[in-house]
Amino acid sequence: MGLCSRRPTRVPLLTTRHRRLRLEWAQEHRDWTIDELKRIAWSDESLFLIHHVDGRVRVRRLPGGQLLPFCTAGHTQDGGGGIMLCGMFSWAALGPVVLVGQTMRAANYLNIIADKLHPYMAFAFLTRNGFFQQDNAPRRKARIMLEWFEEQTY
């Protein structure tokens, strides 16, 4: 039949409301020029693992070959560790990259944003015409984050 075993592609789990809001945002901004898009800055986090431990590795082997070196994946009891980094970026400039020393929650994210956002925006957008765009991750929508952004002026 031509079907092969594959892992499903990971995509954000979107509700009907999320899809509607994304479509509305896209329609509102579809006529933006490149110059307008250049005025947006973002932040993002990435987890870098020392060992690949998410269970997505697959091998093809013959029966009885499970202990052959190319059919095994070593692991450590604690997962081997890793680091999480949070960074800011825009068309104009790369921003700071911050080592996140603990689980990223709203309070941790607020500390990073409060310390780094104003200096980065002032550096990247000298005419003070930049926008900071975020996704809808729960830590970014937390009440303390929304209140902090309401108090800020750029």
In a domain, 18, yes or no: no
In a domain, 118, yes or no: yes
Q: How much is the pLDDT for 91? A: 95
CA-to-CA distance for 89 and 71, rounded, in angstroms? 40
CATH code, 103: 3.30.420.10
Q: How much is the pLDDT for 78? A: 65
Number of structural domains (the chain) is: 1
In a domain, 138, yes or no: yes
Q: Three-class SS of residue 97?
A: strand
Whether 145 shows a pLDDT value over 80: the answer reads yes
What is the pTM for the complete model shown?
0.68
In a domain, 24, yes or no: no
CB 96 within 8 A of CB 89: no
- CA 145 to chain CA centroid, Å, is 17
**Residue among 8, 61, 41, 45 nearest 117 (CA):** 41
CA-to-CA distance for 133 and 10, rounded, in angstroms? 23
Q: What is the pLDDT of residues 23-40, one digit of tens each?
A: 999 999 999 999 999 999
In a domain, 38, yes or no: yes
In a domain, 9, yes or no: no
CA-to-CA distance for 89 and 95, rounded, in angstroms? 5
In a domain, 107, yes or no: yes
